Amino acid sequence: MTANMNPQLTVAHLSDVHLAPLAIFWPNYWNAKRFLGYANWVVRRRRSHLRAVVDQLVEDLRHQHVDHIAVSGDLINLGLPQEYERALLWLHTLGPPERVSVVPGNHDIYTRLRRHTGVGRWARYMESDEWGAELAPGPGPRFPYVRRIGPSVALVGLNSAVPTPPGVASGEVGAEQIRQCREILHALRERGMFRLVMIHHPPLVSQIKPGRDLKDAAELERVLLETGAELVIHGHNHRDMVSWHRTSTGLMPVVGIASASIGRLSRHEPLARYNIYRLHPPKREHGWQIELIGRGIREPDGPVVQVEHRWLEPGKSAEANLSAASLAPR
């Protein structure tokens, strides 16, 4: 089947769900990081991260008829055993593992665990499918993993989450994962696939914030510029953002998204939303076209509505894409 004969595919993207309420935990799970995280939750986060808002977005998503759902991390809060079990039940409500892909965030690998598999409980949502196992073999969770969505789209899941000291939310991909990512993206390019890369932390050096940065962003960015990718999606910053980078294969859009659970304004973080990406295959002189539709709440306790609509066209200049974005409703 040629690229021109491939149908349009649709991928939904949620991130930073921070499922509430917070699980009760026994004293043997207390440590300095969890104590500070718990205090932060009680003082600030529990007032803004609302489970009812998450459920509202998911219910809206059910009516959008998407082909695949991508969740870019921070499903939980303090890395407690009960939280992993609750998050697994929540993932079941989104859909079966073959239709839902997950990468962990820093809150999902919050601190070292004893006698619990942690994100391993979500393994079926974080492993290569039969097609992708040719490029990234092994059962999940193993990163990078590769999944095919329809005939022409490949999702590459990267893990940037590592245990960190109290007060630090940084991430690291690691040299081996970056090496494999380079090989996988090259191979997918040879097969003519649309390459959708998902990671929790922002992958570009320009997006680094001390204490919340990706430690090896320079190395990962170098690979992305060398190999190219048709779309990179991430979370972590709780912000709606689009960055453009010129790669060896053309312009690469890098899209960050707000938290899917913010129901009350907090520290200038936008209210909850999720994105839908309609991926339109190349036609004649046009390359891939990405239709981005943002759906979320415009005000506390408000309904879920369309909050953004824009086109991302890697074949066009960054200036043209930015000009189109200025016309998009928000």
Using CA atoms, how far apart are residues 9 and 196, in angstroms rounded to an integer?
A: 12
CATH of residue 96's domain is 3.60.21.10
DSSP letter assigned to residue 43: I
Residues in Cβ contact with 8 at an 8 Å cutoff, skipping those fewer than 6 apart: 278, 279, 280, 281
Q: What is the pLDDT of residue 4?
A: 44
Q: What is the pLDDT of residue 6?
A: 61
| pTM assigned to the model | 0.92
Q: What is the pLDDT of residue 1?
A: 36
Q: What is the pLDDT of residue 35?
A: 86
Would 330 be classed as within a structural domain? no
Would 218 be classed as within a structural domain? yes
Q: What is the pLDDT of residue 38?
A: 87
Residue pair 231/290 in contact by the 8 Å Cβ criterion: yes
Would 76 be classed as within a structural domain? yes
Q: What is the pLDDT of residue 280?
A: 93
- Which element (helix H / strand E) includes 261? none
Would 44 be classed as within a structural domain? yes
Q: What is the pLDDT of residue 181?
A: 98
Q: What is the pLDDT of residue 315?
A: 55
Would you call 134 exposed, middle or buried from its count of C-beta atoms within 10 A (0-12, 13-18, 19+)? exposed
Q: Is 236 in a helix, a strand, or coil?
A: coil
Q: What is the pLDDT of residue 113?
A: 74
- Pick from 68, 60, 95, 62: which is nearest to 11 by CA? 68
Would you call 303 exposed, middle or buried from its count of C-beta atoms within 10 A (0-12, 13-18, 19+)? exposed
What is the span of the domain harbouring residue 285?
3-325
Would 304 be classed as within a structural domain? yes
Q: Under the phi-then-psi rule, with left for phi > 0, alpha for psi from -120 to 50, and beta for the rest, what region is 138?
A: left
Would you call 268 exposed, middle or buried from its count of C-beta atoms within 10 A (0-12, 13-18, 19+)? exposed
Low-confidence ranges of the chain (pLDDT < 50): 1-4, 322-330
Q: What is the pLDDT of residue 88?
A: 97
Number of domain units in the chain: 1
- β partners of residue 13: 70, 275
Would 112 be classed as within a structural domain? yes
